[in-house]
A and B are shown apart, each in its own frame.
Chain A
């Protein structure tokens, strides 16, 4: 008998619950230098915008205690080049492909969703309404119930594939936002994007990154993410994808127990390109050691003390 690691999220079948987090895995092609990407549960691309974006000037990153700040500024090659240069690889990568989109206006998101969801080889769209680092778009929509719902409704109306709404932790009540995107038609929710942070160098008295503010990621934010996954997964009916500081198989288990149906790994892959496959092996070993045959037995199975 084999273990079942397969999971259904919003009508798409994942061969296992481990996905790559947007913005941390390029367009998927770099990683094939290191491992067989078809072992991934799915690839989530970096955010694609209608036009190419340079993003913020350097320095864009700073290392912090058990984490890092980034303000990349959604730099990407834009929709047309993404379709021409990157989709051919993704079409034959051997796993589920989820394209992340970002716009300045709700209509930008709709245009992106309409075009991308019609491409062969795209299984779902993740909507970035939570980037903390851009002046227009991003968190502007994700910070309010109304703003988030407007974007998701527009995208949902035109998309031929399931929609995942990626939420920000930089809000007063993430449950309210989650309910709003669920009501607007989102098929799934992923959380959390980065937490707004800042770092200053006492030697130079300057900000460590050019954008002043950056998004905090890495193990430092994991407890915040687990708490939000727990809260949101109990408040909505659609499946929740958890992310934030995951760097090993037991971290994956923790998110599943909290209520996530799948997870994304981001920052940890910078130091260790093969963290996805190692975590998958560790997750499998955990299931064997604890007598679980099916990954679904773990979802939301946290017990009271």
Chain B
């Protein structure tokens, strides 16, 4: 059974001008959560924005889920003002998570900005299952140092960890796709996972080519549980589900996704 109800904030922390970190006591959600899944969050009593906002789960354990939230609009600005003990309305866990890598091959995980959480969660779970840390390469990029987060948590995992910022304020200067491309060129094989802006995902998919590559997409999402069809994206036609002469089919990011095989996505 999926869960929809009110839960208490166990800790809220403002990490920079842009990013907050939230831990929420929500045992029924934490127990079920898998990497790549998300929750829909709203603030009870602030219903002028009628949609909740979707956030990927960064970690789940000990009855809590951890979320990182980028302050982008009115709703996230309100969330930044919340305090320990305040209540959030949460629905989840929603969507399908990542598939595990086909083998013990090198893993390349590429995170753009606030796309890091589902990839971090995936690494944690794989390490717990005994996946060798020396095979894991995590690339985390953002506009600027203020948009990077969870650095201590990642360092503690003892994996290969690279950073890039558009302005060079942390890590290498430039897009995070560049160091990933360079490394992947060398090995030419491995499993690739990515989450971030569409342009970054398209670039990652191109570099990964025929290799195992899973992407987590972000979309405007009125419901998050499959009933409104508002978050649908175009996939390549496969003659299996609803399609027409336009040569594409639609899949709901919330229900069939948010994780898709890169091969299935129809890039505009």
Contact = CB atoms under 8 A, between A and B. Distances in A.
Contacts of A273: 4, 91, 225
Contacts of A54: 242-244, 246, 248-250
Contacts of A268: 50
Contacts of B244: 52-54
B140 to A, nearest CB: 27
Interface stretch (A60-68, A117-125, A172-180): A60-68
B199 interface: no
Nearest to A52: B242
A93 B91 CA distance: 23
B97 to A, nearest CB: 16
A26 B254 CA distance: 13
A104 interface: no
Interface residues of A, number: 40
A23 B47 CA distance: 21
Interface residues of B, number: 38
Contact of A34 (B4, B241, B243, B250): B4
Given A58-B234, A63-B51, A68-B222, A270 B227 contact: yes
What secondary structure prevails in chain B residues at the interface with A? loop
Contacts of A66: 48, 50
A75 B232 contact: yes
B229 A75 contact: yes
A31 B2 CA distance: 9
B78 to A, nearest CB: 15
Interface string A58-81: 111111011110101001111000
Interface of B: 1-4, 40, 42, 47-52, 89, 91, 219-220, 222-234, 241-244, 246, 248-250, 255
| Those 10 A-B pairs whose CB atoms lie nearest each other, nearest first | A61-B230, A270-B223, A52-B242, A26-B227, A33-B2, A30-B226, A270-B222, A54-B244, A72-B229, A271-B52
27 contacts: A24-B227, A31-B225, A34-B2, A54-B242, A54-B243, A54-B246, A54-B248, A55-B229, A55-B232, A57-B246, A60-B230, A61-B220, A61-B222, A62-B220, A63-B50, A67-B50, A70-B222, A75-B242, A76-B242, A270-B51, A270-B227, A270-B228, A271-B40, A271-B50, A271-B52, A272-B4, A273-B225
